[in-house]
Structure formats: C-alpha cells, structure tokens
Structure 1
C-alpha cells in the first residue's frame, strides 16, 4: 500500500520527475528493454500512433516527442502481465467487483474471449465463433434494431470505426452513443452553427506564428503533456499565454522540457502563462463576455476620437452575421453581473482584454473544463465571438482549438460514429454499399442509459472504453447495464464495466495500437485523425499479447458476417483481409478522403480540408454567426444555493496525473502534491476554516440535485489548495455518481461533470458488524 503524503509541489512540470515516472512505469510493467524500444517507435513513420491523447505531432516523420502520459499508456498496453482464463477461474465477478480500478487494470492483457457464467459467477473461455453466434442470436431476436446500443471509444481506428458504423446501419439503427457525448459534444455543436464546421481551425504550425494563446478550462500538464512543448516554444519567443482555470495547475505555470538538456542539467525551467486567471468554476462565459465588453468599449473610444478601430470592421462586415444584435446584448450586460459570476474584477478582465487587443493573432484553446457545464455551448460560442471580433479565424496564427482527449475521438466522428447522421452522409453510404440506411436519430450516451433503464432486455455492445465508469449517475448506469439481455465489451484489459454484467455477457480481447496486425494480405496499418485534422497511419511493432486476439476491424467484420448473413451485400471478410480495401470504400463515401491510400502513406499523412480556416462558412446564413447570451444566473449551482442554509459548493471532477480518462496507472498526483491516495477533495483553506474543519479531515459529499435524489460519495480527505472560495475539485470516476443523469449541457447533452452542487459533512466511520 502506498504511503499517503500531501505536500506542496513547487518544481516545474516535466523534468526529471517525468523521466523517473516513465522509468518506474516501464519496470512495473515488466518490460524494461521492450518498453524502451516500443516508446522510441511511437509516432514514427513505420511505427504506431501513441494510444494516449489526440494532440498532434510536431513532426510525424523523424522526431521522438517525449510525453509522460503517452509513455504510461504505451507501457500499460505493452505490459508483460496477462489476465488468462486461469486468472478468471480464481475470482468470481463479485470478488473482482470489490477490487479497485487500479488493481483491475494492473492484472494485464486479456488473452482469450470470455463468457460470463451466472451459475458460478465467473468468466470462462469461449471460442470466437461461438461468441459471434451468441451476439448474432441476441441481435436477430430483438423486437427492433433500435433495441441494440452500440457504444464507441475514441481509441478505435478510422478503419474499425467505418466498418462498425456500416455494420450497425446495415443492421438497422443509428444508436451510436460514444465518448464524444461525454466530452467535446458541445464544441462540435457550438462551432457547426457558428462557423460551419465542428472542428478546430488551427494547425500545429499556427502555434509558431501566434501572438497570444488563450487557454480555457484545460490542464495540459496532465492531460496533453505534448502541448507543453508548443506552449514552451511560444513563451520563449515572447507570445502571451493567458490561462483561465479555477485550480492553480503547475503545468500552466512552469515547464522543464525533458528533451532540453540545457534546462535539465541547469535546473532551469520555462514560464508558461504570462497571465493566470483564476475564475470561479463555470465563470468562463462571464469572463469572456467581460473581455468582449472591454474590447467594444475601447473600440467606441477609438471611433469617437478618430483613431484606428480595435475590432476588424472589414472582416465583420464581409464574413459575419448578427453582429449588431450581439453588440446590443453585450452593452446591456452589467459589469456587476460579469464580475460576480466570473469571480474576477473589472481590472483583471481589462488587463486580459488589453492582451487580446495588442495581439495581431490569437489562438483560443479549451478542454472539458469548458464543455462539461449546462451552459457549455453558450460559453464556446462566446469564445468564438471573441475570436470573430478581430478576425481571428481563417488566418495564420489564429483560430479556435478544442483540444480533444482520446487519440482518435475526432476521427471516429469523421467516419460516421454519430447518433444524428446527416442525410447527405446516409445517402452516399447507401449508394456505395447498396442498402437503405436508417434515418431515425439514435441514442446518445444519456439517452442510451435512459432507454436501458426504462426498457429491459436491450443488447449493449461497447467498442472499447469503460462505459460503466465513465458515465454519470453511477448507480443508475449500473442498474441499466444489469437489465440488459446481453452486454459485450471489446477491450485489451479488464475494467469495471466488464463486471457490470447483463444476463449474458462477453469480453472480447483485441489487439492494441502497439501490436502487429496480420491479415490475409499481410501486415496491416490503421489510420487515425488528431485534434488538428491530420490523418496518418499507425502500424504496431510488438507481437500480439496472445495468439487468440483479433483486431477491431476483424471483430466487426466477423460480427457483421455472423449477424447479417445473406441480408448484406458487403464483402465483409474481403474488406478486412486488406485494410487498403476499407480505405478505398472510405474514399468513395467521403470526398475529403479521395486517394486515401496514396495520401495517407506519405510520411506524416495529410490534412483534411477545413472550410472555416478558408473563411468559407457552411452555415444557414453563409457567414460566421455571432451569438448573444446573457451571463447565466440560473445554473444548477444558483438554484441549489437558493434553497439551502448550509454552504453549497461547486464541484468539478478532474484527473490525477497518474490517470488517463478512466484508466488509473497509479495513486499519485505529483503536480498537485498528492501521493498514495485518490479519495481527496481540493478546497480553499478559508473554506476549510469556515466549516470548522482542518486539512486532513475526512468528509462525505452529497449532491444537491434538482431531481431531489440523494447521491453520496463517502470518505474524502480535505486538501487545502489554491482554488477560489466556494469551489471544489475531486477525481473521477470516484465522484461520477454525484452527477445526475438529468443534468447535462443545453443542446449538446454532455453530463455536467465540471459543475456539481454539493454539500459537505464530517465522515463518521461505520462500526464493524
């Protein structure tokens, strides 16, 4: 058991601590020699794409780019440990359920397909053919194809995702809940109507040209470490970096590049943020509107005095709509509302506005600190409004940059993993594969849980991920899955979701990104799309963890073959024999993928066209649209505080540094000074005193939800931290159960995991029976 230590971390992000952490992970996984060789093959022309985050590579052709979390992901996948049938014979599912998420992950790679045996409460081996026949039997006896739910993780390759959505639509449904529903759904929704495309417009090269980078609700030091290299270079050449974050995060303050020997040997580090703005949780919309208000006020002064305009009048006139309505709304908003709801002073906001106005080009980045709120769509559109004011879209060094998580979450959406597909996409898909796709919209993640709760006997199929742990309202989600007739999980390692079984349950082990994939025509490569729309190949270098593993494309093809039989005109086994054939079909369906096989085999791959970056606006108005939103004063936190006498705090769920999404690599959070413990609650020291408590005390959290349901998370240790008054932070998935299923972003339905109203009480240890 790790020793529990809480201490101040005053060193830079990266540095020797990062190198030590990676070395420790490699040795813990039992792969010292193999691990180093594998890491050196990540993001190389003949190697594999890092299975970690979706941040692009500076040079996908020659440079090994160090990343601590990517190294952890690679080491975890390449582990020498194996979870064999013998392992599962030693444990019942109930016994496994009592283990921690960290322990489950640490058992190693799965080696055989497994079927749940209810009589013994154990998983037992099953042959692949029998597994596919079992799934097909369940699917083909459903009253309707819409009684099947097909979840997708963002680590699925383009080829697997394309085959997956094709199979599911030939089966007859658009039920595609995916991880985008839980993270960047608001980004896509907000930007499509604002600028005509749901993706960011910048390239990595724009970070070398920009004058200012605004970072909202993001902690790159933990979640996208490679981004720190771009921020370091921008800082060194004098670009302004303004970070908006309730928590003081070390990666946004100082960074020591492990590849910069001069910094490593001298102990020096690079300052990242030129201005660190600690606003209240959920206060970003108010803050950005305050910056806009200051810009417009400065522009009015310039206009009255005959000085050059602050805003880009020509750009606004030629390229935007609804500007006048937007300006009236901003002018009508009071500074009192802006400062109250943002938690920032007018002076602070004016200073940031001055930085914005003095920059010729500005990039705005954001993460899930923006997207997981009730008002997330409005907040993102306000950020886009800020960029539009000075023409900061469609020119070098400028534009919106939503920073996505999983390595191919953006590519999966491009390939058609979407519960609300466009009519034009369905028409073309049907033409290429000679069938009539379903047009009825399917279930997103929240909708999938709701329908599984309301109607038993569904089939739930997960292509990767950890659905039961990643989703909100944990108790309800688990109940929903247990009501299914069949649950199936395609995966590389054991996780919590595999223990929340339907009446029938299967675990199907697949190849990882680092492993060699050989099909009938020889060794294969898959493709992925990063956060900046670069598409490139990924080819594993390690032997498979077991001879019984199948690739994700092969799993989909064999499932389609078993389920659809003569109903399908698609040559499933022919496509999967050579992934070039899959890419040929992708090119037939998507215009942007013409000559796919030729373009993707060029080292570094190719960039997908982005119309907004060309100032072509595919919107209803034919222009980029300004959107007006009042500063919200009726969010869940406002309503909760109106009805309670005791203090109500606003809780944001966050990752630790030894974690990637739901995968927990260890029990340390180095940059926040937490070691050996995950059940911690970050809180302002003054709030601890107001509660008549002390740091180190243990508390229980109870959510204050509009539905009146009592949701608890018990036994969390108070940790004094630099965070605004009234705000809290704790790790997920430990606090996911506090998020009501009914609490999600307006329009985008993303769970509000970054703004949970909660009350605290002293934890009382229960007496043993």
Structure 2
C-alpha cells in the first residue's frame, strides 16, 4: 500500500451516488444560476410531454407518473443554460479576447448567456455587437470567395432534428459533404460497426426490454455522470435481483451503490441499493481481450453440453460464425489474461452467467468506442449477443449509450460526411439541386485540413470544436488561420475566442426557451438513445430579445450565402411543421411525422433487427473476426501505462459546471492523475507526488506537466486524467482507422516524477 500524505482537495466521499448528495448539488446549481422563484417550475417541466427535453443526456422517458423527471446532472444542465447571468456589450468592451483566453473554460461559460450577435474587431481585440443582417452578409461575403470543399460544417449533438436537417441542406446545396460532428469523437464506431454486424448504426433495445432482461452486462460507461437518468432503470433491476455485471477500469460510485432521490424509504433511512452484482476492473484497452475470453468460454461450455449457443438462430440469421469460432479457438488464455487484466476464471464466470440468462442486454459507452480499435470492439459486443440470439427478442439486445440528447437524431436526419446514394437522390428529387456525392471530412480530417490550411472556413452549430478534439498544440493555432469562423451557441467558450480573420458569434435560443415564430409557438424534436422521437417545447422567456432560434439562424445564413437557392428558407422557419414535412419526404421512418410527435412520448424509428430482419449486404447478421487481442499499438517498456481521459461529475463534455468530482473524492481541482497502488509502488511514486506525463507513441512529443498523482481503485497498468485538459496527450492521428474516432481511452504514456522541491512548493 502506497503511503498516504494529505493532499489538498482530496478526501474520500463515502456516500452513495444520488441520495442527499444529489439533492444538495441540485440546490446549489439552482441557487447559483437561476431565480429561485423560476427554477422549480422550469425543472418540473423537464422531460415532460408538454415541456422540454433535457439537454443533459439521451436516456429515454419511460412514464411521467412521478413528480419530477430530472436528475442532479440534468438540473445542472438546465440551470447552466437557464442562468440569469448575461454577457453584456459592456463586459465585452472591457475584456479583450486575449485576456479572456487566459480564463479557464469553467470561467468562460460561467459568465452567462450571450445576448447579441458579435463580431471580432482586430483593432481593439474585442468582440463587439453587430446587427443580424450585417452578420449574415459578412458571412456570405467570405463564403462567396471560397470553394465548397474549403468549408467545414460542424454540428453538436444538442441541435434539434429541425436545425440539423436545415444545416445539412444548406451545406449540400452550397456544395459540400464536410460534416464533422460530435459523434465523430464519441460513438462513430457504433455508426460504422453496427451496420456491418446487424445492418443499422443504432441500438436495438427499448426501455421495456429492461423490464424483461435477465442479465445486463455494462461495459465502459459511467451512468451516474454521463447518462444519469439511466440510474433509475439500473436501480429497479438491482432491486429485482437482476444481475448487473460491470466491466470498467475504474471503480465508479454510481455502478457500486445508488440512492434514488425519488425513493422515500432510501432517502428517509439514508440507505442505498448495490448496483453491480459483479465488478471487473478490465485494463484500459483490454475490452477486446475480455470479450473474446467470454465468447471463448461460451463456446467451450457448448462443446461440453450443447445449449450454450443458439444454433438455430446462428444457422438461420447469421453468417461468419465458423471464422469467428476458429479465431477464438486460436486465442491463447494466457494472452487474454495478460491483455484484459482479468483471470480466466473471471471470464468463465461471466460466460456461465451469460449462458444461464435467456435475455441479456449489453450496454456500452465511450470506454468501448474511443480506442483505435473502437469499431472492432463494438462488433465484438454484437458477436457475443449473436451467439445466443440476443438480438430481436424481448429483454435482450445491444444498447449504445449516447451522451448528447440528440446526437443520434442528427445522424438520422443527414449529418454525416458519408451520405447514402438514396438520401442524396431524394434531396435532388425534392429540392431540385444536385448535392455533392464525394465523401467529406469527419472531425479529425477537418482539423488536419485546417492545420494544412486547405480548409478556410468553419461554421459551428453549437459545441466547442477545438477543445473537444485531441492535440490542442496543433488544433488551437489552426483555428486562427481560418478566413472565417462562425459559432452558433448560447455561451462563450474557448473555440469562439480562437479568432480567425473574420469571426462571428451568433446567439441562439436554448432548449428551455420559448421559440416564437410567425406561425406561432414552435416545438422541435429529438431522438433519444433508443430511437424514440419526441417533441420539446421551451417555456422560459428568451435570455435576450436579440436571440434567434437555431433553424432561423441557419436559414438566415443560407439565404444570404445563396440568393438563388431552391429552398424556401424564410417560409420554413415560420412554421417548423414545414421542415418536418421535408424530413418526411426525404428520410424513411418519419411517416406522419407531425401527427405522431403530437402524441405524448412520440414514436419509435424503424429498427429492422428488432424483427430479426438484417439490412446488411448479405441479409444476415454478420459475425466478425478481431485478429489478435490488442486494441492499440504495443509500446515496449515496463514503465508504460495506458491513459484514460475522463469526465468529472461536475462536467458535461467540455462544459465544466464546477471544479469538484464528488464521487471520486476530488474537490476544487482538476490537475489529477488517478493511479493504482501497485503501479505507484512499482514506479517508486507516492500518493500526492507531482509528475509530468509524456505520450509514449513513436514520434510523439506530447507532454502534460504538474499533475498530482492520486492512489485510486483503477486497474493496474491504467491511469486516468480529466478531459479536455488531458487531450494534450492524445495525438490527433491516433485514431480508429475504420471510424476516425480519436483514441481518448488508451494512450500509452510514461510518467516522470518532479523534484521533491517542486513537490513541496506545490503542496505549500
């Protein structure tokens, strides 16, 4: 056991996830951000049929019988957006862009809501107000000088279906398929891998399936922070004694024990429910080895006594099983154990539980996808489910856990750099222009093109593009080389301040605010993680009279940039039903769109695999072969560790609500490196030492200085540091080649201890 010196800001948190700690955090969020009289009514409208969809996660709504349908982190997301704080012209006149860049990301967003369109003034180094029409004209003037392939259209997953559809329509009529979006940085391996396996890039389970599940296997996600409303479902399963087997390098409190704030008994008695029935701390990057080990053990059980495999399902519905089985047979148990960090007995016990279950759901998050074999990881999960016919039956299926509330919907309505020929043909038929057929840029290719100075303009529909990407030492300067950067958003962030020759910031309505157009009060729609499409209607007065909706802003830019456009932009924003009519005409699955979103709860998009129909090239579900066991390039050396970038509990993607990470026992700081006791001892380090971290990939020189090492329950060989700060250690080229997703979760690194003098100075 490593020594324990007292480290400022580090002390254990002994409570469960949820419970009174969550209620306290919710109260603090309300008190510090909103009018105390307005907040309760606003929160009670969250995720209600006549209210707005929470921007904090993509977990679906089951029913609306309880008093409230929001969680702690949902309350933070809502109050952060509905804050009473404002960024005024006076504030901007007094603070140069250079001085604002010296602020933390937390401070920048903490200034509050943007209230008027802004343009960068290089003479004064400030952002100054500009009229909407003038902003549109200046954007159009720059776009008129560029070739379409030089312009990038970035989308954040918080955008509605209506805004995303107009955005892709604008870009394609303009002439490009350059659509970097946040999915490229998180669940793109799902969008690429699952179509190869089952024919669609979406999950197959519904909330009702969790009622019928006999086993849940949870891999690579932290629901208490990143999709917190899922905790209600896990809580119900655990209380019904449904086994929940967890694979995660770190011990996460929400997967250990949870107190439901809506449970009178648990709140009154200060008790909680154990969530994970078994918790396996897989090594970072060891997921493929673990999955292959489980599958290998299942095949061995079937060889001993037939019935472990669903042979009838495999014969009727799949192809490629023989090659998959041969690869498992050739996989060595010793190598599986070494790479996964788990024992053969561990994985055989999971196989026994899996075979015993007649209905299994596998849930997974970015701990699976953000690797340089992320697509292959996703396909291995599908393989495991196919072995026992666990797709297309009640209580079973694959469940990718999206973060942004509409990242899945954006992809459904056309935000993709690789559009299908059928979709492009429909656009041409309905609108009369010929859309480009060449594939465009994803997020990493966009940044590489900006670094190479071949891309000249970036239009961002939300998000914090440069900060979300890896390798800020290259990415941040590249933003300043552009001819044009346009940002549609609600708050200031660092990407806005990386000013181009022309930078314009356009403030939009938030999800919580009323959207009044000529045709009346408007609703937008979103698609959750389980393919349910439903309406969202804000109720609050806008933060400023100058705000416009995202659809209205996109239409304004498009009309100015393409005066001869074949799209009736201004008519479409008068009534969003007209946008939905166009979505229905061009995208399958949106039949009777406007009628069905007016039904509480909305409707579900078609999911053929739930009916055991497989829209793959072969018409069958396809097994895959993951050659070898390693997810990432092996770098020799006993001092090599694998870095996981992770989010704190007071964080949503790049948005940091506060400087605490309550469940991990970190308060008021983010300069932390989580590390296993055995690795501390092996490398001669102590809890509280200050270290520098270097990327250990050949030819890389990334370095992060001054992190404090904290002994933590994380798998040996793995370390964790906060995102986005630790992005400096992730090379831009270190990606999953199939999907283009950066490998944020298993970067080989080395650690160097700073001198004890530096250490003492830091502690003092």
- TM-score category of the 2 structures, normalised to the smaller one: over 0.9
Distance (whole Å) between structure 1 residues aligned to residue 520 and residue 66 of structure 2: 25
Q: Deviations over 1:56-77 (max 9, x none)?
A: 1112587622311111000001
- Equivalenced residues, count: 753
8 Å contact from structure 2 (residues 285, 632) kept in 1 = no
8 Å contact from structure 2 (residues 85, 111) kept in 1 = yes
Q: Deviations over 1:14-51 (max 9, x none)?
A: 00000000100111114212111110000112110001
Give yes or no for the alignment of 1:743 onto 2:740.
Answer: no
- 1:763 aligns to what? 754
- 2:288 aligns to what? 285
Distance (whole Å) between structure 1 residues aligned to residue 604 and residue 67 of structure 2: 19
Give yes or no for the alignment of 1:723 onto 2:721.
Answer: no
- Offset, 1:406: 0.3
- 1:687 aligns to what? 679
Q: 2:322 aligns with which of 321, 324, 329?
A: 324
- Offset, 1:630: 2.7
- 1:712 aligns to what? 703
- 1:592 aligns to what? 589
Q: Deviations over 1:154-179 (max 9, x none)?
A: 00000000111001100000000000
- 1:521-540 alignment to 2 at 5 Å? 521-540=519-538
Distance (whole Å) between structure 2 residues aligned to residue 684 and residue 193 of structure 1: 37
- Offset, 1:499: 1.1
8 Å contact from structure 1 (residues 110, 509) kept in 2 = yes
8 Å contact from structure 1 (residues 681, 718) kept in 2 = yes
- Offset, 1:632: 2.9
- 2:222 aligns to what? 219
Q: 1:665 aligns with which of 657, 664, 677?
A: 657
- 2:42 aligns to what? 38
- 1:581 aligns to what? 578
8 Å contact from structure 1 (residues 651, 727) kept in 2 = yes
The DSSP-based 3-state class of the residue aligned with 2:516 is strand
Give yes or no for the alignment of 1:629 onto 2:629.
Answer: no
The DSSP-based 3-state class of the residue aligned with 2:562 is helix
8 Å contact from structure 1 (residues 43, 61) kept in 2 = no
Q: Deviations over 1:476-501 (max 9, x none)?
A: 11122111001111000011111111
Distance (whole Å) between structure 1 residues aligned to residue 587 and residue 631 of structure 2: 42
Distance (whole Å) between structure 2 residues aligned to residue 609 and residue 693 of structure 1: 54
Identify unmatched segments of 5+ residues in structure 2: 1-6
- 1:306 aligns to what? none
The DSSP-based 3-state class of the residue aligned with 2:53 is coil
8 Å contact from structure 1 (residues 456, 483) kept in 2 = no
Change (3 A) 1:62 1:167: farther
- Offset, 1:634: 7.5
The DSSP-based 3-state class of the residue aligned with 2:589 is helix
The DSSP-based 3-state class of the residue aligned with 1:675 is coil
8 Å contact from structure 2 (residues 373, 631) kept in 1 = no
The DSSP-based 3-state class of the residue aligned with 1:400 is strand
Distance (whole Å) between structure 2 residues aligned to residue 579 and residue 700 of structure 1: 52
- 2:398 aligns to what? 400
- 2:263 aligns to what? 260
Distance (whole Å) between structure 1 residues aligned to residue 741 and residue 253 of structure 2: 28
Change (3 A) 1:620 1:456: closer
- 1:732 aligns to what? 723
8 Å contact from structure 1 (residues 61, 604) kept in 2 = no
- 1:375-390 alignment to 2 at 5 Å? 375-390=373-388
- Offset, 1:620: 1.2
Q: Deviations over 1:316-352 (max 9, x none)?
A: 1100001111111111111111111111111111111
8 Å contact from structure 1 (residues 61, 603) kept in 2 = no
- Offset, 1:577: 0.5
- Offset, 1:457: 6.3
- 1:612 aligns to what? 609
Q: 1:422 aligns with which of 420, 423, 426?
A: 420
Distance (whole Å) between structure 2 residues aligned to residue 536 and residue 724 of structure 1: 40
- Offset, 1:755: 0.7
Distance (whole Å) between structure 2 residues aligned to residue 264 and residue 291 of structure 1: 38
The DSSP-based 3-state class of the residue aligned with 2:305 is helix
Identify unmatched segments of 5+ residues in structure 1: 304-308
- 1:221-620 alignment to 2 at 5 Å? 221-303=224-306, 309-455=307-453, 458-566=456-564, 568-620=565-617
Distance (whole Å) between structure 2 residues aligned to residue 325 and residue 99 of structure 1: 55
Change (3 A) 1:589 1:349: same
Distance (whole Å) between structure 1 residues aligned to residue 523 and residue 337 of structure 2: 52
TM-score by length of 2: 0.97
8 Å contact from structure 1 (residues 683, 719) kept in 2 = yes
8 Å contact from structure 2 (residues 446, 455) kept in 1 = no
